[in-house]
Amino acid sequence: MPKIEVNKVAEILKKNEISPAILRRIVEEMNLAVQPDPGEEEKPPPVKKQFVILVSDPDEHLPKHDFVGWVLQIPENESVATTQDRLFRAAYDFNTTKKGRLLPVKTVGEAIEHVPAKFLKETDVWVKTKTPVLVIRTDNEIPKEQG
């Protein structure tokens, strides 16, 4: 619904020869209506967020250094083991195009960042994070005591 300023409404009412006393009451009431409620404060800007992949590693199989990764989606009924092959096929298809021949993708990171969604969708893979995100490990346990 479009909003209209109080001054515009006052001008319209004045043009239509509303008595000054009624006009004044209407304008005062509109000014009160447009003021924010005392309990309502301006909302702070939204918090900028980032993705993090948290990997459960209770048996400590992963080395204790930082990894990065990407968040991808494939069809629910498909094996996750096919994910890399899907990405490779999309990259091969892209590299056969005019743009792909000029600037071929050579790494998984380049494929995720630069291969258009059209090629990825054809191989049933959807990229959720084009830039790599930090992967951190956890032993999957909540400590008994805080701190």
pLDDT digits (tens, 9 = 90+) for 17-70: 888 888 888 888 888 877 766 666 678 888 888 888 888 888 888 888 888 999
Could you tell me if 81 and 123 lie in one domain?
yes
Q: Which domain holds residue 11?
A: 1-41
| Residue pair 87/123 in contact by the 8 Å Cβ criterion | yes
Tens digit of pLDDT for each residue in 72-109? 999 999 999 999 999 999 999 999 999 999 999 999 99
pLDDT at 40: 64
Total structural domains in the chain? 2
Residues 60 and 130 in one domain: yes
Mean pLDDT of 114-129: 95
82 and 117 housed in the same domain: yes
- What's this model's pTM, rounded to 2 decimal places? 0.62
Task: Please indicate, yes or no, whether residues 88 and 120 belong to a single structural domain of this protein.
Answer: yes
Decide the pairing of beta strands 133-138 and 53-56. parallel
In a domain, 11, yes or no: yes
Cα separation of 85 and 81, whole Å? 8
Report if residue 144 sits inside a domain.
Answer: no
Q: For 132-137, what is the mean pLDDT? A: 90
Q: Is position 48 within any domain?
A: no
pLDDT at 72: 95
Instruction: Note whether 57 and 119 are same-domain residues.
Output: yes
* Dist CA 121 CA 24 (whole Å): 62
Q: Is the same domain home to 63 and 115? A: yes
Is residue 147 domain-resident?
no
